[in-house]
Amino acid sequence: MAIKDLPVEECYIPGCAACPGCPATMALRVVYKALGRNTVKIIPACCTAVIESLHPHTSFDIPTMNIAFEAAAAGASGVEAGFRMQGKTDITVVAWAGDGGTYDIGIQALSGALERNTNFIYICYNNEIYSNTGIQRSGATPYGAWTTTTVTGKTEFRKEMGEIIQAHHIPYAAQTCIAYPEDLFKKLQKAKSIHGPKYVEIMAPCPPGWRFPMEKTVEMGTMAVETGAWALYEVENDKVTFNGRSKLILEGKIERKPIEDWIKYQGRFRHLFKPKKDIKRIKAIEDHIDQMWERYRKCYQ
């Protein structure tokens, strides 16, 4: 699949409230292309609740319901049941949430919806922070990163949401990244074609949140994958397949790039380089990624 093959039709309408260079709208465009108009979206509090723009207008051209921060997946269970009871089983029900709404405050509703087999797609766009509220730590924030609530760098490692999701043994789960629109598109199309709960997580580098220039969103995504900080893979009924670069890394066909290559371009890691390079913490990050790949190799190869 090439970029050219992606549909022209847009359900995202220009002129919204997103920051320039926003990864969320970048992803949303592709998501809408993959899912089509017969889709209903539930979104909890997150940047997207601002992005959609002010009442009485909206920048989204598919029906969208905002719901409380912790309630996206539960709301989706209700929406799905509501449509099903009306015989409208062709509508794709999507919950679209940030990492905060997924890893932290929304994990319970999500875990519940997966367990009770709700037929929906849960999409997490992961910018590794609470960006809507002005950059606080989330469960997805990586070790060492500055946020307004981790002023000297986060002291814990991020949750491995991918593994947590896999432990739920749902029919389809995938990790992708805004820098790979074809990958994103394919994964969502596949998710759409499968019955039951699906989970897709999109790595979404956020310029103001990570402190990089707004034109670099795509590069930051590419580097996340190339350094191995983020892996592209999909899981169908417990069968794991790595994709693209990540597959090559898994198979040892290419080396993953050093993590420094990525984090040094992000203001949120500045304190690891200035005034003095914090070798210990950088190594801790590197080691942690190594361990992750070791696990991947052990179970998924």
Ligand X SMILES: Cc1ncc(C[n+]2csc(CCOP(=O)(O)OP(=O)(O)O)c2C)c(N)n1
Residues at the site binding ligand SF4, with contacts judged by CB under 6 A? 18-19, 22-24, 47, 51, 127, 131, 206-209
Which residue has tokens 């062709």? 90
Residue 280, classed as helix, strand or coil, is helix
> Using CB under 8 A, which of 16, 19, 62, 105 touches a copy of itself?
105
Q: How many residues bind a copy of itself (CB under 8 A)?
A: 29
Residue 99 contact among a copy of itself, Mg ion, another protein, none, beta carbon within 5 to 8 Å by kind:
Mg ion
Residue 164 contact among ligand SF4, Mg ion, a copy of itself, none, beta carbon within 5 to 8 Å by kind:
a copy of itself
Residue 166 contact among a copy of itself, ligand SF4, ligand X, none, beta carbon within 5 to 8 Å by kind:
a copy of itself
Residue placing its CB nearer to ligand SF4 in the complex, 118 or 131: 131
CA dihedral (138, 35, 223, 260) in degrees, to 10, reads 10
Specify which residues 66 forms β-bridges with: 43
Residue 8 contact among ligand X, ligand SF4, another protein, none, beta carbon within 5 to 8 Å by kind:
another protein
Contact call for residue 181 and Mg ion (CB under 5 A): no
Query: Would you call 241 exposed, middle or buried from its count of C-beta atoms within 10 A (0-12, 13-18, 19+)?
Result: middle
Q: How far is CA 191 from CA 176, 212, 243, in A?
A: 13, 32, 15
Tokens of residue 17, six digits: 């409230």
Contact pattern for Mg ion over residues 114 through 153, marking x by CB under 5 A: -------------x--------------------------
> Using CB under 5 A, which of 52, 70, 99, 201 touches Mg ion?
99
Residue placing its CB nearer to ligand SF4 in the complex, 18 or 184: 18
Residue 91 DSSP one-character state: S
Q: How far is the CB of 273 from a copy of itself (least distance, A)?
A: 25
Half-sphere exposure of 8 (CA within 13 A, CB side): 0
Residue 8 DSSP one-character state: S
The backbone torsions φ and ψ at residue 297, rounded to the nearest 5 degrees and listed phi first, read -60, -40
Q: How far is the CB of 72 from ligand SF4 (least distance, A)?
A: 16
* Helix H or strand E segment including 201: strand 198-203
Find, among 181, 176, 232, 177, the residue nearest to 7 by Cα.
181
The backbone torsions φ and ψ at residue 256, rounded to the nearest 5 degrees and listed phi first, read -75, 145
Residue 111 contact among Mg ion, a copy of itself, ligand SF4, none, beta carbon within 5 to 8 Å by kind:
a copy of itself
> Using CB under 8 A, which of 1, 112, 252, 294 touches another protein?
112
- At 108, the amino acid letter reads Q
Residue placing its CB nearer to ligand SF4 in the complex, 28 or 272: 28
> Using CB under 8 A, which of 169, 195, 196, 213 touches another protein?
213
Q: How far is CA 153 from CA 142, 156, 267, in A?
A: 9, 9, 12
> Cα(first)–Cα(last) distance of the chain, in Å?
25
Instruction: Please give the residue ranges that form the binding site for a copy of itself (CB under 8 A).
Output: 70, 103-105, 107-108, 111-112, 115-117, 139, 155-160, 163-164, 166-169, 238, 291, 295, 298-299
